Structure 1
Amino acid sequence: MRSSPTRIPSSLLSRGLVALWLACLGQAACAGVFLDGGRPTPAARQATEVLADAGAEGLVPEDYDAETLALAVASAAQGPALADPQAEQLDAALTTALHRYLADLHTGRIDPRQIRAEFTALPARDFDPAAYLKAALAAPHFADALRAAAPRVPLYASLRALLAHYRTLADHPAWATTLPPLPGKRKLEPGQPWAGLPQLTKRLVALGDLPEGTQPTPTYDTTLQEGVKAFQQRHALAADGVVGRGTLAQMEVAPAQRARQITLAMEHLRWTPLQLAPRMIVVNVPEFVLRAYEVRDGTVSVALTMNVIVGKSVKTHTPLFDEPMRFIEFSPYWNVPPSIAREETVPRLRRDSAYFTQQGFEFVNGSGQAVTDLSQDHLNAVMQGTMRLRQRPGPRNALGDIKFVFPNHSNIYLHHTPSTQLFARERRDFSHGCIRVEDPVALARFVLQDDPAWTPERIREAMGQGKSHTIRLPQPIPVVLAYSTTIVKNGRPHFFADIYGHDQLLDQTLRRNAQARRQAR
């Protein structure tokens, strides 16, 4: 760039391009990339097309001044060639806009800690937009190379396609008006007539829950029920075919709202660490599901899927973070967290002394010695923090008979539970923050699969010994506690409740940041 003052061309005096130009001043990498002899290169036109298409990636074209840059490039192509200062300024504006686009596409638009996600720093955090842009310019297909900065996980590509589909539904007549009130007892059951059946049929067809060409019927028949069951299953509802308040509320969510939900899921993926090792375990908290993944020959496959129970939505959220699993503890002790001891266990023991023996509790003093007699002094010591409560291994132990340990400052782990009936619920936020797993034997087999001696029979035997025993994993396995209210399974979208409000907070943060950028222009 020239050191002498230059005039900012009038074509750049809008929508924040002055700020882009100033940001690029003094950066040698910005000069001479997109203008040749005062005329835009083919790469310049492709760059404006990619920026204009940022919405397809769940981003906002306005954030990159896509419209104004496209007009400036078109003007430079069709009108008089730009002189050096003006050409350099347009080149700088395009380059800076692409740097911002690439950074947003690759690593996201916010620091995940803003929505209480404590993920470790990834190698991707060191992403260099300038270096990436330089490499993209040398690639055979520049526009494709730019778009390839997006997260390279299969779910992202599925969400991108899903976003495009839901945007096509935005003006669908099936959502032109709201559905009428439900009949009778506010439930639509088999055989009932309802004024909303034609509109319901159209929505289910548009969403792919009923085949194309399905026609409405006078009463709620078997065909419609099957469509409703498919819809319910995709929206984490009891798939009973009965349209009640919960099902109706989900059916009233407009496609534009779903599209926004999909963009938030894409944003989550940009900074959730999902490519750490050949094997890894991922818990999607709002889905209440754990998946164990393997990567072989560059192909990611799901080796294991199971239901889980996570922290309560009201008070004891399961935090979002990633840490390597290092230990498995068979027949574990449960060291009652101080907050649970103070707020729940000690008050219960003061009311019901028999609970102490029934549940296999004991006290542990400052020297690590177990004390098995219940007294008010010992309870007071727990309240004061000079003693702690723990539960011995056994059939009533809150951790069940196995614990998967990935050391972290929140003291969160995966574990079995004696309360297995809760896994049958559609919504499973019942814990104090730790994650209860439905099939601990299968998970242990996945974790220990490199050692053929650990057969399912041996795992069950170790779980049932009643004596605490810990083994160290020879190769730690990454565990990621993630949050996505939209996923694609078997080619079909599935939506989940924003149980902790993380999507709402992310949406608010993105909108607030966008407003701040507009005000700064």
Structure 2
Amino acid sequence: MTPSSKPFASLALAVLFSLASITVHAGTPDDIRVLAATAKQAQKSGQLTYDQRDWLERFYAPRAYAPVWLGANLSKAAAAVVLLQEAAVHGLSPADYDADGLAAKVRSASLDDAALDVALTRAMLQYMADLRVGRVRSEYHSATPDPRLTAFDPVEQLRGAVEQNTLAAAVAKAEPRIALYKYMKHTLAHYRQLAKAPVTSLPPIAKGDKIEVGASYPAAPALRALLLLVGDEPGAASAPDDKYGADLAAAVKRFQARHGLLDDGILGPDTVAAMNTPLSQRVRQLELTLERLRWLPDFSNGPIVAVNLPAFRLWAINNGDTNGPPPLEMRVIVGTAVKTQTPLFVGSMRYLEFNPYWNVPPSIQKAELIPKIAKDGSYLAKNEMELVAVSGAGEPVRNVDAAVMADLRAGKYRIRQRPGAGNALGAVKFAMPNPDNIYLHSTSARELFKRTRRDLSHGCIRVEKPQELAQFVLAGKPEWTKELIGKAMEPGPQKTVNLKTPIPVVLFYATAVSGRDGHAIFSQDVYKRDPVLEKLLSARSAAAAPDQLSK
């Protein structure tokens, strides 16, 4: 309970003692019955991720439509309102649930106010559902009703919580279970406090200019104060205030690493622009991440591979093992923002291919490779490629004449690249069958991992540490030792290894994340998804305005 909510709770209890002996008006159940029936007949809102029209009827019918929050239960009404007012802890807006409006109405509650009882019930059901599945429809769940609201039925959960006086526990149960959600809540609270502090903006640096170690920098005090505020400067520096010293550069380097910038410790235009980003905007990024985490399914304990696309990072973790070793982390390369964005989805890694063939996707074959082959008859040979009949008949074709070229254009052949040092997939492919034909793989172009912005692929995900990832996913097959995996990745014949148990792979999108240490990591919105989510949330908030909750 927040300090500001305590006076209201005390007031509610006082009102309770003065009204507990009064009998509820006999007409209230009939009024609640009418309101529940009206809600059931209403038109479905296109802004909600769930269909809540029958929730009131399902909630009140087993109790003969008797009120839940009035009379002797006014203390429960006070507790419910406090929970709604604390929705901001989750990055949600209390206004979406009319928290303050309900608080004012409860203070002056009439004992036969059926509309108030129903409005508070509706707000609590909506709040718990939003915590469970998010406020807007995700790309992971398109079906209605959302299956997660079958496993966690807000109606049954709220009814039980009212009967057992466990409202706070029911709300906590609605939260996502992944550990990252808990870390994000703490980081959000921290950044909200940081955003209250006054911050002096740094003077912009023109493109091509930079401040290096040892240079005079009049804004050094402001820079040091900012780095100290956000936790990248551990303490007071020994260098003169107007100098950009080595200790200050080290703190800048830590800041750069947390913001997806080249961590060279040099002050340039991009670094200063990131530093001048208002902390209130960072707060909003954290709030958007909490919403996106609510979209994810519940994962069982065990190995999970998660890729955050705008951060160009992969984590391989053992879900549920909070005391184990830190997650395996590595850089990745994802689909280009302009043409071939990597989609969001949750898949299952089912097998690995060592020394894989690269079966060229039809889109790449048509748009890129066929024109190159037409210009250079030796293109296939130079790139260790061959044509394979789509029908599956015949031997691979490596020499292209006019007839073969015509059949290729007609779609009778597909192109594949043979295993080897120059293969686009590198030494290993991590397969997770899906309609978009997206998978993880190694790469021969390892120099690309040095870039800070790594949206460079056709959609698949290239991993920086393929052998370490192979060791992680093959941990359930002890015969696959580190040495054997290393040998399998050497040039040789293709080999497929099925996993003992499929491993969930999550491709998600978050421009702000937090780790166990509480440090926030911010990324550029390379796919421009944040404004899209903001628009959807605004439409949802308008649909959930206080005047709508009472209808």
Q: Same-fold call, TM > 0.5?
A: yes
Alpha-carbon offset, residue 366 of structure 1? 3.1
Taking the aligned partners of 1:138 and 1:519, their CA distance within structure 2 comes to 26
Comparing 436-445 with 137-146, which one deviates more in the overlay? 137-146
Maintained 8 Å contact 2:213/2:266: yes
1:35 is aligned, of 54, 70, 86, to: 70
Taking the aligned partners of 2:34 and 2:102, their CA distance within structure 1 comes to 18
Question: Which residue of 2 is the match for residue 291 of structure 1?
Answer: 315
2:212 is aligned, of 166, 169, 189, to: 189
1:505 is aligned, of 525, 532, 540, to: 532
Maintained 8 Å contact 2:76/2:162: yes
Maintained 8 Å contact 2:340/2:458: yes
Is residue 234 of structure 1 aligned with residue 262 of structure 2? no
2:223 is aligned, of 186, 200, 209, to: 200
Alignment of 1:352-363 (within 5 A): 352-363=376-387
Question: Which residue of 1 is the match for residue 159 of structure 2?
Answer: 134
Question: Which residue of 1 is the match for residue 195 of structure 2?
Answer: 170
Question: Which residue of 1 is the match for residue 366 of structure 2?
Answer: 342
Alignment of 1:468-479 (within 5 A): 468-479=494-505
Question: Which residue of 2 is the match for residue 433 of structure 1?
Answer: 459
Alpha-carbon offset, residue 72 of structure 1? 0.9
Maintained 8 Å contact 2:218/2:241: no
TM-score normalised per structure 2: 0.83
Distance 1:487 1:21, change over 3 A: closer
Distance 1:497 1:411, change over 3 A: same
Question: Which residue of 1 is the match for residue 175 of structure 2?
Answer: 150
Question: Which residue of 1 is the match for residue 234 of structure 2?
Answer: 211
Maintained 8 Å contact 2:187/2:518: no
Is residue 56 of structure 1 aligned with residue 94 of structure 2? no
User: What secondary structure sits across from 2:174 in the alignment?
Assistant: coil
Question: Which residue of 2 is the match for residue 11 of structure 1?
Answer: none
Structure 1 unaligned blocks of 5 or more: 9-19, 77-81
Alpha-carbon offset, residue 42 of structure 1? 1.7
Alpha-carbon offset, residue 36 of structure 1? 2.3
Is residue 96 of structure 1 aligned with residue 122 of structure 2? yes
Residue deviations 1:156-185, cap 9 Å, x none?
A: 11211221222223332215xx32233896
Alignment of 1:71-110 (within 5 A): 71-76=104-109, 82-84=110-112, 86=113, 88-110=114-136
Maintained 8 Å contact 2:386/2:418: yes
Maintained 8 Å contact 2:33/2:57: no
User: What secondary structure sits across from 2:199 in the alignment?
Assistant: helix
Taking the aligned partners of 1:252 and 1:409, their CA distance within structure 2 comes to 42
User: What secondary structure sits across from 1:341 in the alignment?
Assistant: helix
Taking the aligned partners of 1:239 and 1:478, their CA distance within structure 2 comes to 32
2:413 is aligned, of 374, 387, 398, to: 387
Distance 1:92 1:21, change over 3 A: farther
Alignment of 1:369-384 (within 5 A): 369=394, 370-384=396-410
Q: How many residues align?
A: 496
Maintained 8 Å contact 1:292/1:302: no
Maintained 8 Å contact 2:32/2:66: no
Alpha-carbon offset, residue 31 of structure 1? 3.6
Distance 1:302 1:119, change over 3 A: farther
For 2:75, give the aligned amino acid: P
For 1:441, give the aligned amino acid: Q
Question: Which residue of 2 is the match for residue 269 of structure 1?
Answer: 293
Structure 2 unaligned blocks of 5 or more: 1-27, 36-51
Residue deviations 1:491-518, cap 9 Å, x none?
A: 2111011111222211121112223444
Q: RMSD of the alignment, in Å?
A: 2.8
Maintained 8 Å contact 1:404/1:413: yes
Taking the aligned partners of 1:91 and 1:281, their CA distance within structure 2 comes to 45
Alpha-carbon offset, residue 144 of structure 1? 4.4
Maintained 8 Å contact 1:283/1:481: yes
Taking the aligned partners of 1:307 and 1:380, their CA distance within structure 2 comes to 41
Alpha-carbon offset, residue 305 of structure 1? 1.9
User: What secondary structure sits across from 1:225 in the alignment?
Assistant: helix
Q: Percent identity?
A: 41
For 1:282, give the aligned amino acid: A
Residue deviations 1:261-303, cap 9 Å, x none?
A: 0000000100123624422211111121222121466767644
Taking the aligned partners of 2:53 and 2:340, their CA distance within structure 1 comes to 47
Taking the aligned partners of 2:222 and 2:320, their CA distance within structure 1 comes to 46
